[in-house]
């Protein structure tokens, strides 16, 4: 048996098409979604992400602004820019690309963004809303994973769901979304005892640890759904995930890397920005 490859690229194109159609309708009402992206310093990986976000804005018919600030930008200057963007009627969503230079507090940056424009869903207000299940925005990677599960008609209800990784960006919100959909959720991390045994219980296994090939076939139940959120480079410099490719032979569904969960992340950012524009203009 070989797993069905969950094609994030195809789903991403489909979702962006529907976002573009909705944006065209909004524009008829005089509303154009606008995204401001801020990048501080020159981190090559961040620069690639920012370029991809700009391209996605074009594809979805959004207005976008990019602020590339020098490495020596002070925290005060950055927070001043965010305050301006919070007030700008042209901007529906604000995203500050992480990591920021060490002299700037990431938490201070997250806290400064108006929760109604926090399309990354990292602000404590939005994190709290995810916890209680009454949310407007969801962090983009977990949102993309849920969209993939829905596309392939995989319902977490009543299933054993194991999330490997407890980051604020993926692991924690991912577990809450699965819980809201009636999955029985276990979160694993570096101090979990007998990790392989816990993973083998999973009907749905979501992996976000940032270690190439970390999950091996012996850690996966026959017929499990495996979502690989990791993006790493192996010894040969090739892009690979947190799950060893051989797991394909054991799983029923699996996301490839690249082309699985990755393309969905930026598309969900576009979906959040569209939603922000509608909420700010009283459109449901």
Binding site for NADP(+), by residue number, is 165-167, 231
Is residue 280 part of the annotated active site? The answer reads no
Name the DSSP letter for residue 215.
B
Answer whether 2's CB lies under 8 Å from 248's CB.
Answer: yes
CA–centroid distance for 136 within its chain: 15
Q: Helix or strand or coil: residue 111? A: helix
Measured at the CA of 224, the angle between CA 255 and CA 263, to 5 degrees, comes to 15
Binding residues, by number, are 165-167, 231
Choose, from 97, 159, 242, 271, the residue flagged as catalytic: 97
Is residue 120 part of the annotated active site? The answer reads yes
Answer whether 273's CB lies under 8 Å from 119's CB.
Answer: yes
User: How far apart are alpha carbons 209 and 193 in whole angstroms?
Assistant: 16
Choose, from 7, 114, 120, 203, the residue flagged as catalytic: 120
Angle, helices 261-280/140-151, rounded to nearest 10 degrees: 110
Answer whether 33's CB lies under 8 Å from 276's CB.
Answer: yes
Burial of 95: CB neighbours in 10 Å, binned 0-12, 13-18, 19+: buried
CA–centroid distance for 257 within its chain: 15
User: How far apart are alpha carbons 241 and 258 in whole angstroms?
Assistant: 8
Is residue 53 part of the annotated active site? The answer reads yes
CA separation, residue 176 to residues 29, 66, 125 (Å): 35, 32, 15
Q: Helix or strand or coil: residue 11? A: helix
The residues that are catalytic are 53, 97, 120
């Amino acid at each position: 048996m070989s797993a069905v490859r969950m094609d994030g690229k195809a789903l991403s194109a489909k979702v962006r098409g529907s976002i573009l159609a909705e944006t065209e309708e909004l524009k008829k009402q005089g509303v154009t979604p606008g995204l401001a992206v801020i990048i501080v310093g020159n981190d090559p990986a961040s620069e690639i992400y920012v370029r991809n976000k700009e391209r996605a804005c074009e594809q979805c018919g959004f207005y976008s602004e990019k602020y590339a600030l020098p490495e020596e930008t002070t925290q005060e200057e950055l927070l001043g820019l965010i305050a301006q963007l919070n007030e700008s009627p042209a901007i529906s969503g604000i995203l500050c690309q992480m990591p920021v230079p060490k002299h700037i507090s990431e938490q201070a940056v997250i806290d400064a963004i108006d929760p109604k424009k926090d399309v990354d869903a990292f602000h404590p207000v939005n994190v709290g809303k995810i916890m209680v299940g009454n949310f407007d925005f969801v962090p983009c990677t977990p949102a993309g994973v849920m969209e993939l599960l829905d596309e392939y008609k995989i319902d977490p209800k009543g299933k054993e769901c194991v999330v490997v990784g407890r980051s604020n960006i993926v692991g924690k919100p991912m577990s809450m979304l699965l819980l809201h959909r009636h999955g029985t959720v276990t979160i694993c991390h570096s101090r979990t005892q007998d990790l392989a045994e816990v993973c083998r219980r999973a009907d749905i296994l979501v992996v976000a640890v940032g270690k190439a090939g970390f999950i091996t076939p012996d850690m996966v139940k026959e017929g499990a759904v495996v979502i690989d959120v990791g993006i790493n480079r192996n010894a040969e410099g090739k892009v690979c995930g947190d799950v060893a490719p051989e797991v394909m032979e054991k799983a029923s569904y699996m996301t490839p890397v690249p082309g699985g969960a990755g393309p969905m992340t930026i598309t969900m950012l576009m979906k959040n920005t569209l939603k922000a524009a509608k909420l700010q203009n009283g459109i449901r």
